[in-house]
Amino acid sequence: MKWSCSSLLIAFLSAAGVAGAQPRPAPAPGPQPAAATAAPTPPPPAIEAKAWLLMDYASGQILAGQNIDTRVAPASITKVMTSYVVSAELAQGKIKLDDAVTISENAWRGGGAGTDGSTSFLQLGSKVPLKDLLYGMIIQSGNDAAMALAEHVAGSEATFAQLMNQYAQRLGMSGTHYMDASGLPNPEHYTTARDVALLSRALIHDYPEEYKIYALKEFEWNGIKQHNRNTLLWRDDTVDGIKTGHTSEAGFCLATSARRGDQRLIAVVMGAASEKARADANQALLNYGFRFFETHKLYAANTPLVAPELWKGATPTLPLGVVEDVLATFPRGRYGDLKASLQLPSRLIAPIEQGKAVGTLKVELDGKVLLERPLVALAAGGEGGFFKRMGDGLLLWWKGDAGSAVSAEAPRSP
C-alpha cells in the first residue's frame, strides 16, 4: 500500500484533534468495607519514654510516634537482629538447628552466669544444639546464647556484627549500627524506634516459623526454667512477641506485636522508666491502634489501573498498574474520604519496557499524603510499524511540546 503526501496530510488533519496521552481516571479503591460512622480520631496516648512508635504491619505505615529517628541504645532488643541473621543463615542452609555449638570462654565469660546480665547458664566447653541456643536467646534473653550463636555463624562476634550491619542496611535501617550480638553498652551500638519496627516487621514476614518462638512464655535449659520477660504475653493473649531490653543507659525497652482479627500492629517503646511502664505503654499503643485504625487493600498488584494512549506503539494503549498490592491504614470509618489520583506524563511514546515506572499513584486523606506508589508498564510497549511511527510523529509535531505531567483524580467509591 502506497501513501501519498496528500493522503498522509488528510490522515494527519483528521486525527489532529484527538487528545494525547491523557490519563483515564483511576478505578476507585475497592471493594469498600462495611459502612461505619466516622468520628474524630483522638490523639495517641501519652507515652513517657525516650522514643516510641506504633506501626501497622500490613501497610508499614506509622500511625503515631515521637522521636522515632532519635538514636537510642537498644540493649537486648539487639537480639532481634541476631535471631534475624541466624534465621537467614538457616534458610540458606549454611547452619542447621541440630548443629552442636561449643560454648567458648568468650561466650561463657562475657555472657554467662558470672555476669550481671541475662544468661542461659551455659557451661564452658559444653556442646549445645543450635536450636536450644536460639530458644535461650529469644525467651531467656541469654547473652551467652547470643554470643555462642554469633561465633558459630561467623567465627567471631565482631565478624557477626558486620553481618548484622549488612542486613540492617538491606532492611533500610539507616539509623542503626551494631557492635555485638547481645546489646551490651557501647557508644557505637545504637538504633532508632523506626528501625526496631522495620526489623520487627521483616522478622515476622520473612521468618514466621522462627517468630513463633517469641510467643513462648518460658524455656528450661540445664534444669533452670526462665520466663519470657515480655509480660504482655500474660496480660494480652493477642500479643505474640517481640522482645524486651534493659540497661542503665538504655532504660526499659520493649517491642511488641499483636494480632486481632486480620489486623496486626507493632509497637515500640524505648527508654521507659520501669518494666511496668514499658509494658503499660505498649499495651496502650496497641489498644489505641486496634480501636481507631483499619487497614484495607485498595489496589491489587499487576491489575491495570489505567491504559493511556501509546504513541508510535504497536498497540493503541499501554496498561499501567502497581507491582505490589496497595494497602493503606487510616482512621476507622474514613474509607470514603480517601482521594486517589494518578500522575502521568501527558504523552507516552514507544518503546517502553515492561516494568518501567512511568507515573505515580497517590492516596491522600484530608489533604495529607497517605502513600505514593510508582505506576509501571504491565506489558511491553513495543514500537509500531513504519507508517504508525511516521503518522504519530507528524501528529506529535503538530501538537508541539508534550507539556508537563498531568493528574487525574480517581472517582469516589459508590
CATH topology of domain 5-27+305-409: Peptidoglycan synthesis regulatory factor (PBP3), Domain 2 (2.60.410)
* d(C-alpha 222, C-alpha 299), whole Å: 52
* d(C-alpha 227, C-alpha 138), whole Å: 11
Per-residue confidence band for 399, with pLDDT thresholds at 50, 70 and 90: confident
Residue-by-residue DSSP string for 285-303 = HHHHHHHHEEEEEEE-TT-
Per-residue confidence band for 397, with pLDDT thresholds at 50, 70 and 90: confident
Residue 232 in this model has a pLDDT that exceeds 80 = yes
Which residues belong to the active site? 76, 79, 141
Architecture of domain 51-292: 3-Layer(aba) Sandwich (3.40)
CA 15 to chain centre: 47
Cell, residue 78 = 539487639
3-state DSSP helix/strand/coil percent for the chain, to nearest 5?
Answer: 30, 25, 40
Q: What is the pLDDT of residues 28-78, one digit of tens each?
A: 665 555 544 567 899 999 999 999 999 999 999 999 999 999 999 999 999
Percent of the chain with pLDDT over 90: 76
The residues spanned by each domain of the chain are 5-27+305-409, 51-292
Q: What is the pLDDT of residues 101-113, one digit of tens each?
A: 999 999 999 887 7
Cell, residue 408 = 487525574
- The position carrying cell 507516552 is 348
